[in-house]
Amino acid sequence: MPRGITRSEVDPDLPLFARRLKAARLSSGLSQERLGVAAGVDEFSASARINQYERGKHTPDVLTAAHLAKALKVPLAYFWAAEDDLAKLILWYGQLNAKSRKTLLATADELSQQE
């Protein structure tokens, strides 16, 4: 379950940020309101604000987005990954320990030098 965020069924017509946020929240099992509160949003506006983000009505500032990312345990950059493959790569990077990250970086370095 924690490895399958991008497999969740989210409307592909939603704007990028909305789509990624909704996928990550559904994967976490939190309600919109509880996610907002967990991210430090005022309890009286949390429900409306997270809903507006997920429906693509509004976009939060980067600080709010960072709090959401932390609450959802995903790297901040995940919200703006345009391709699903890059989204997966970023999610997996976020789950690796320091040693595995080094290994992954080394692999990417080698591959990019081959081109």
Write the interaction track for its own copies spanning residues 60-89; mark x where CB under 8 A is met and - where it is not.
-xx--xx--------xxxxxxxxx-xx-xx
C-alpha Rg value of the chain to the nearest Å: 15
For its own copies, how many residues bind (rule: CB under 8 A)? Answer: 41
> Which C-beta is closer to its own copies: that of 39 or that of 78?
78
Q: Are 63 and 35 in contact (CB under 8 A)?
A: no
- Residues of span 18-57 touching its own copies by CB under 8 A: none
Q: Which residues bind DNA (CB under 7 A)?
A: 31-34, 41-42, 44-45, 47-49, 51-55, 57-61, 64
Alpha carbon separation from 16 to 53, 82, 83 (Å, rounded)? 10, 7, 10
Q: Are 18 and 51 in contact (CB under 8 A)?
A: no
Alpha carbon separation from 20 to 27, 98, 100, 104, 115 (Å, rounded)? 11, 25, 25, 23, 30
Query: Is residue 109 near its own copies by the rule CB under 8 A?
Result: yes
Residues that bind its own copies (CB under 8 A): 3, 15-17, 59, 61-62, 65-66, 75-83, 85-86, 88-90, 92-93, 95-97, 100-101, 103-105, 107-109, 111-115
